[in-house]
Amino acid sequence: MGRLDTLNSDHKFCPNCGSPTEKYLTLEQVAAQTSMSVEFWRSRIQSRDIDYVKIGRSVRIPQSSLSAVIKPVPAINTNTIINQEIK
């Protein structure tokens, strides 16, 4: 197994050039995208609720980890529920 194969087993890298295919976001970028504070995301990192990487002293959150944490909840149409109860 080559060096790039070893890297690709754990990380998302281009098999041809070895550059990262994952987008890594700063805490400020994550906070802006989610309209939540940087402190909120720091606490998620400290409690290990979200994956992160360290590049030197910098902390980055992979876009895929952020997408995994943000889960849309479908809206409930109360008119539909009321109409079903009446029938």
Cβ neighbourhood burial of 2 (10 Å; 0-12, 13-18, 19+): exposed
User: What single-letter DSSP state applies at residue 13?
Assistant: B
CA distance 61 to 54: 9
| SS3 call for 25 | strand
pLDDT value, residue 21: 78
C-beta atoms surrounding 74 within 10 Å: 5
3-34 pLDDT, tens digit each: 444 444 455 667 777 666 788 999 999 999 99
What pLDDT, in 10s, does the model give residues 40-81?
999 999 999 999 999 899 999 999 899 888 888 888 776 665
Give the per-residue pLDDT at 33.
93
What is the residue extent of each domain of the chain? 22-70
